[in-house]
């Protein structure tokens, strides 16, 4: 019979240890220490406590924990001496049925891996959905992780160990991430639509108004109807809009959503998670026959990534009345204008102006998004509360020195343009780090017409600076530009700089940020506040109503804009639970204050 949290909280330490024996392979100390933190409010709380024990234990104990794990399809499996849990996991993954060729490949990978890292390769074989990885996926992951730097791989091994424990815990408690699994399956099915040229290679690319893009819109609107939304339509820029009515027809609505377009060869979760999480929550409300004292409007934004045309945030921009008719003349790489793409898709350009929302009819805007960074993963936290969406500044520059002979120009007599940019890049690294939460990047650095035997006479570069508040970003920019001035003067160089983009920071509305914080805390998880380094649709809505965002941890150290972008069904389950908590809070607040004055 499945264990309950109440039983675990009440049990003697000996009993609890016995019930959860083998959660961490041959390492009962992890559980032993975590149990002292009872009572646990939730399984998520228990999982986090376990991970914290391992974090605090230090590198030596962590290596011991990693080494306590068996090799995949290794001698222990063949000699039937694995722990029961490991044996089951390896057998379910089909590792007992490896062909001779696959076994040989595994052995080779294992030898290379052990030689490089000094510990066995560890992978949660049941994968992010808990239903199992294929042998092919296992081998591919093995090969990929061989290239990781040692400290990164050490952390990855620990993350996999925690994931194995999470799945084993689910088994002991009979817990299934039911909503998370549905979310997982929806993401997979939506990712079946991809633009030509990418689809054939198994890559996900969905750019504005392509056939794949329109198929996504149709799929989403079909799903919204099946979820029980009262009104569903595709609007004049291709946004899919679903409305779930309030108990009171005059009540205001909560606006939420994210984008369904992708970057080229992107991930399955960027944007889509913020559409599907509220959708599954509405489905649950509808199944329970529940109406809230406010409406819920979920918008799947058609365009955010700016891939096909030079117009990022076209979807959410239309909701704040920010559609410039001049954009209609823009052409894509094939010379198709935005206007004709929209006409071909059956969109009515004349209606775009009418998409602008009246803020008086809304409580606010919330957005769930995959983190797209490594912070939550490093903290063993599934959810994070966004404090602000960073303001950004982009500049493009060129430095001119003197191209001269690499052999005859003495080091002290050079006017090397590339070295000036190199020096500036090091300064940006150090100065941005000083703030703690600013970031600065020189992502483009090129020597036009450069040659192996010529001192660089010109160097073009880009500068991208971001911070949670505009004043902090501007101070960073001032210091960086002053440093550039000094470097150029000292090295005898000239330079030009042009601002190419400036976006104001969008601090999350404090009252809404607190609602996310309470939602996370009610799940038994510590509240972690963090700025968003990436831009999001919420930045646009920020112009007309209060907004706040929730981040969900990504797998693979949070990699994004990359096919490896992923999350687990357990983390998505928690995102859906947090969203539901937020709805409950709003409902309670509305009941207390019938005028519906949300701030
Ligand atoms: Zn996104």
Say how many Å lie between the CA of residue 207 and the centre of ligand 1.
13
> CB within 8 A of 133, min separation 6: which ones?
93, 123, 125, 126, 127, 141
> What pLDDT, in 10s, does the model give residues 507-563?
999 999 999 999 999 999 999 999 999 999 999 999 999 999 999 999 988 999 899
Q: For residue 39, say if its preceding peptide bond is cis, omega within 30 degrees of 0.
A: yes
User: According to the model, what pLDDT value does residue 594 have?
Assistant: 57
Q: How far is the CA of 497 from the centre of ligand 1 (A)?
A: 29
pLDDT at site 73: 76
CA-based nearest residue to 181, from 255, 107, 128, 111: 128
Q: Which two tokens stand for residue 371?
A: 């983190």
Distance 259 CA to ligand 1 centre (A): 6
Give the whole-angstrom CA distance, residue 78 versus residue 91.
11
Ligand 1 centre to CA of 191 (Å) is: 15
Q: Map residue 579 onto helix, strand or coil.
A: helix
Task: Phi first, then psi: give them for residue 323, nearest 5 degrees.
Answer: -120, 120
On whether the CB atoms of residues 163 and 54 are closer than 8 A, the answer is: no
218-222, 279-283, 307-311, 317-321 — which is least confidently predicted? 307-311
Q: Is the pTM of this model over 0.75?
A: yes
* 555 Cα–ligand 1 center, Å: 16
pLDDT in tens, 11-48: 999 999 999 999 999 899 999 999 999 999 999 999 99
Which of 396, 521, 409 has the alpha carbon at shortest distance from 461?
396
Distance of CA 483 to the CA centre of its chain: 34
Nearest alpha-carbon partner for 143 in 123, 114, 103, 113: 113
Residues in the 5 Å CB sphere of ion ligand 1: 270-271
DSSP string for residues in 76-127: HHHTT-S-HHHHHHHHHTTGGG--HHHHHHHHHHHHHHHHHHSS-----TTT
Q: Measured between alpha carbons, how far is 518 from 142 in angstroms, rounded to an integer?
A: 39
Helix and strand tally (H, E) in the chain? 20, 16
Q: What is the mean pLDDT of the chain?
A: 94
Least confident of 334-348, 400-414, 440-454, 581-595: 581-595
Answer yes or no: is pLDDT of 75 > 80: no
The pairing of strands 529-532 and 383-389 is parallel
Q: What is the per-residue pLDDT for 97?
A: 83
H/E stretch holding 325 reads none
Task: Tokens 């609505």: give the residue.
Answer: 253
Centre of ligand 1 from the C-alpha of residue 136, in Å: 29
């Amino acid at each position: 019979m499945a264990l309950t949290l109440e039983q675990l909280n009440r049990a003697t330490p000996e009993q609890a240890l016995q019930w959860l024996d083998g959660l961490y392979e041959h390492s009962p100390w992890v559980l032993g220490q975590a149990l002292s933190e009872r009572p646990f409010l939730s399984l998520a709380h228990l999982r986090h406590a376990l991970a914290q024990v391992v974090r605090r234990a230090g590198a030596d104990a962590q290596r011991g924990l990693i080494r306590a794990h068996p090799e995949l399809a290794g001698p222990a499996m063949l000699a039937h001496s694995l722990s029961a849990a490991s044996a089951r996991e390896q057998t379910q993954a089909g590792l007992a049925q490896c062909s001779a060729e696959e076994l040989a490949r595994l052995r080779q990978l294992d030898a290379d891996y052990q030689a490089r890292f000094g510990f066995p390769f560890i992978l949660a074989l049941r994968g992010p959905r808990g239903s199992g990885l294929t042998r092919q996926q296992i081998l591919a992951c093995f090969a990929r992780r061989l290239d990781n730097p040692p400290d990164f791989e050490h952390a990855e091994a620990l993350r996999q160990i925690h994931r194995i424990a999470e799945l084993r815990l689910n088994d002991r408690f009979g817990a299934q991430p039911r909503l998370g699994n549905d979310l997982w399956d929806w993401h997979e099915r939506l990712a079946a639509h991809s633009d030509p040229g990418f689809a054939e290679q198994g890559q996900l690319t969905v750019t504005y108004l392509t056939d794949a893009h329109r198929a996504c819109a149709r799929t989403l609107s079909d799903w919204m109807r099946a979820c029980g939304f009262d009104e569903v339509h595709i609007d004049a820029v291709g946004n899919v809009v679903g409305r779930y009515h309030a108990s009171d027809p005059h009540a205001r609505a909560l606006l939420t959503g994210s984008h369904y377009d992708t970057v080229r060869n992107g991930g399955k979760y960027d944007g889509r998670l913020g559409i599907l999480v509220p959708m599954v929550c509405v489905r649950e409300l509808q199944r329970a026959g529940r109406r809230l004292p406010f409406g819920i409007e979920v918008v799947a934004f058609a365009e955010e990534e700016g891939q096909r045309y030079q117009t990022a945030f076209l979807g959410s921009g239309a909701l704040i009345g920010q559609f410039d008719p001049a954009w209609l003349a823009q052409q894509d790489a094939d010379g198709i204008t935005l206007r004709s793409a929209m006409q071909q898709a059956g969109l009515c350009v004349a209606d775009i102006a009418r998409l602008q929302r009246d803020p008086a009819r809304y409580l606010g805007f919330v957005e769930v998004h995959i983190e797209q960074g490594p912070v939550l993963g490093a903290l063993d936290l599934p959810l994070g509360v966004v404090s602000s969406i960073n303001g950004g500044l982009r500049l493009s520059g060129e430095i001119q020195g003197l191209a001269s002979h690499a052999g005859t120009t003495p080091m002290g007599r050079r006017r090397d343009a590339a070295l000036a940019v190199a020096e500036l890049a090091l300064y940006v690294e150090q100065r941005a780090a000083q703030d703690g939460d600013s970031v600065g990047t020189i992502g483009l650095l090129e020597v036009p017409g450069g040659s192996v035997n010529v001192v660089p006479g010109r160097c073009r570069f880009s500068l991208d600076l971001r911070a949670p508040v505009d004043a902090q970003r501007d101070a960073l920019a001032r210091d960086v530009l002053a440093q550039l001035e000094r470097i150029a003067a000292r090295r005898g160089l000239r330079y030009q700089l042009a601002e190419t983009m400036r976006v104001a920071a969008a601090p999350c509305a404090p009252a809404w940020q607190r609602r996310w914080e309470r939602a996370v805390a009610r799940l038994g998880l510590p509240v972690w506040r963090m700025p968003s380094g990436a831009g999001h649709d919420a930045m646009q809505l920020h112009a007309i109503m209060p907004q706040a965002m929730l981040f969900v941890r990504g797998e693979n150290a949070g990699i994004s804009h990359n096919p490896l972008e992923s999350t687990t069904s357990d983390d998505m389950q928690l995102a859906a639970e947090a969203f539901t908590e937020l709805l409950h809070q709003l409902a309670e607040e509305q009941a207390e204050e019938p005028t519906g004055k949300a701030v």
